[in-house]
């Protein structure tokens, strides 16, 4: 699910493997199973925090009582979620933690008479109706708004939104722009031949 939202994920089946990876791999965030078999998840959280006091930690647990959540926060977790948390909320929580840690910059919202863009909340309000956005759509829209009124080519969008060495395919960008035009209105994102896509603003509210 996180890969579909353009996060690069590495999975470790044991606490020992995860703790070892901390020393050899750079991460932006740790998502820790607090119910990890054979180990005290809260203790593992504390070890991770001691090994790296900077990278944020989000714990996940099946338990509904407060104690494991409180203990994990005390041990160094930045947030704790339930394992049944829906994907959209999990992504929003990850982005919020990354923003607080300074690893994800928040873009300013855009607003005019018909459209309000709430990038941090991954949604837009079109003529009073709230419409959710995927993370991929949000990233494309944020870039187009930031660069408007200049048009952006597919190559430029790929360069700006690439994650590490993983490029984003042309077809993926085209699909996200198509979806954004359906949600915001076709006139909001124009395709200018030989130049690229451009976000078109309206009358300020």
Q: Are 164 and 8 in contact (CB under 8 A)?
A: yes
**Residue 14 DSSP symbol:** S
Give dist(CA 8, CA 145) in Å, integer: 25
Percentage, residues of the chain above pLDDT 70 = 91
pLDDT in tens, 171-184: 889 999 999 999 99
Residue with tokens 């995927």: 134
Q: Are 105 and 145 in contact (CB under 8 A)?
A: no
Give dist(CA 72, CA 5) in Å, integer: 26
**Residue 197 DSSP symbol:** E
pLDDT in tens, 22-75: 877 778 899 999 998 888 999 999 999 988 888 899 999 998 877 878 999 999
Taking 3-state DSSP, the helix, strand and coil percentages for the chain, each rounded to the nearest 5, stand at: 45, 20, 40
> Is residue 195 predicted with pLDDT exceeding 90?
yes
How much is the pTM?
Answer: 0.55
Domains contained in the chain, CATH given: 3-101 (3.40.50.2300), 110-199 (1.10.10.10)
In 102-169, alpha helices (H): 135-147, 154-161
pLDDT band at 106; cut points 50, 70, 90: very low
**Shortest CA distance to 173 belongs to which of 162, 185, 165, 186?**
162
Q: Which helix (H) or strand (E) holds 173?
A: helix 170-184
Give dist(CA 166, CA 51) in Å, integer: 28
């Amino acid at each position: 699910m996180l890969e579909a939202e353009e996060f690069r994920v590495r999975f470790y089946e044991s606490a020992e493997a995860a703790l070892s990876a901390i020393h050899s791999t750079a991460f932006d965030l740790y998502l820790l199973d607090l119910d990890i078999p054979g180990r005290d998840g809260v203790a593992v959280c504390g070890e991770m925090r001691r090994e790296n006091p900077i990278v944020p930690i989000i714990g996940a647990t099946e338990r509904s009582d407060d104690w494991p959540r409180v203990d994990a926060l005390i041990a160094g977790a930045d947030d704790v979620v339930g394992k049944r948390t829906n994907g959209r909320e999990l992504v929003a929580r990850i982005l919020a933690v990354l923003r607080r840690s300074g690893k994800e910059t928040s873009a300013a919202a855009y607003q005019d008479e018909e459209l309000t863009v709430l990038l941090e909340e991954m949604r837009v309000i079109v003529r009073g109706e709230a419409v959710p956005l995927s993370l991929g759509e949000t990233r494309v829209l944020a870039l187009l708004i930031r660069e408007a009124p200049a048009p952006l080519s597919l190559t430029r969008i790929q360069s700006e939104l690439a994650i590490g060495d993983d490029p984003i395919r042309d077809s993926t960008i085209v699909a996200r722009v198509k979806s954004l035009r359906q949600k915001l209105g076709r006139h909001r994102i124009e395709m200018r031949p030989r130049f690229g896509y451009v976000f078109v603003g309206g009358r300020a509210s």
